[in-house]
């Protein structure tokens, strides 16, 4: 019985078990050897590269540079600096041109928005002129008698309200009227229809306004049509 127990403990392993054990040992030995070999190769390559770079630097330092080669290097450096300066100047000019184009485009867009209604507003001025002409030709004595001329007074007030509404609409869109009466004649804003000597009036001043002038955002939309005082001496 004792011998049987010992034979079970120290029984020789089977062929399959031995093969598995040998494969396991082989895998462990391979995995342990390969990383060590890779690490060794990397360190050796780094050492060789370092030694090569040191030798190259020592060779460059020990090799003298002739005066001709030094002059070529200086010339090449000067040409490079000149080219760099030229490119920098061209770059700055391009930036300035781009900024100018942006500013001009912005101004043009703003002007387009501001003066988009210029033609339409100028056409409306004819209507305002007709209304003002109608109001001017109503006799003042008829307006004073509201009982006898009630219909005329009501019509006058209605036309005057219409004219005022049109002027307010134009003002909301930047169109303003100006009246140069008793002011020095300015050919930039007024158009002289006639001249006449007027006693007590300063020569060269406006004494009559046939049509008022209009401006839009500081620009003359329509010149005022005026009469100018003439100097009796002819000057």
Q: What string of pLDDT tens digits covers the 235 residues of the chain?
A: 444 443 444 444 444 444 444 444 444 444 444 444 444 455 666 676 667 666 655 555 555 667 888 888 888 888 898 899 999 999 999 999 999 999 999 888 887 877 788 888 888 999 999 999 999 889 888 888 888 888 899 999 999 999 999 999 999 888 999 999 999 999 999 999 999 998 888 899 999 999 999 999 888 999 999 999 998 776 6
pLDDT at 226: 95
pLDDT at 188: 93
204-212, long-range: CB < 8 A, 24+ apart: 204/228, 204/229, 204/231, 205/229, 206/180, 206/181, 206/182, 207/181, 207/182, 208/181, 209/179, 209/180, 209/181, 211/129, 212/132, 212/177, 212/178, 212/179
pLDDT at 184: 94
Cα–Cα dist 67/44, whole Å: 40
pTM value is 0.53
């Amino acid at each position: 019985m004792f011998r049987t127990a010992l034979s079970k403990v120290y029984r020789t392993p089977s062929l399959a078990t031995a093969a598995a054990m040998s494969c396991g040992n082989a895998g462990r030995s391979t995995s342990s050897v390969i990383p060590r070999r890779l690490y060794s190769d990397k360190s050796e390559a780094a050492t060789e590269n370092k030694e090569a770079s040191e030798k190259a630097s020592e060779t460059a330092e020990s090799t003298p540079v002739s005066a001709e080669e030094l002059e070529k290097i200086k010339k090449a450096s000067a040409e490079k600096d000149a080219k760099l300066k030229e490119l920098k100047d061209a770059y700055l000019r391009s930036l300035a041109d781009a900024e100018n184009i942006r500013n001009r485009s912005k101004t043009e867009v703003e002007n387009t928005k501001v003066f988009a209604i210029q033609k339409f507003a100028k056409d409306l001025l004819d209507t305002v002129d007709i209304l003002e002409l109608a109001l001017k030709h109503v006799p003042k004595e008829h307006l004073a008698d509201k009982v006898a001329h009630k219909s005329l007074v009501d019509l006058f007030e209605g036309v005057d309200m219409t004219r005022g509404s049109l002027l307010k609409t134009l003002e909301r869109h930047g169109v303003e009227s100006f009246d140069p009466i008793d002011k020095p004649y300015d050919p930039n804003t007024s158009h002289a229809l006639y001249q006449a000597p007027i006693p007590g009036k300063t020569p060269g001043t406006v004494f009559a306004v046939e049509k008022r002038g209009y401006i839009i955002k500081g620009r003359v939309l329509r010149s005022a049509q005026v009469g100018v005082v003439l100097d009796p001496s002819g000057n």
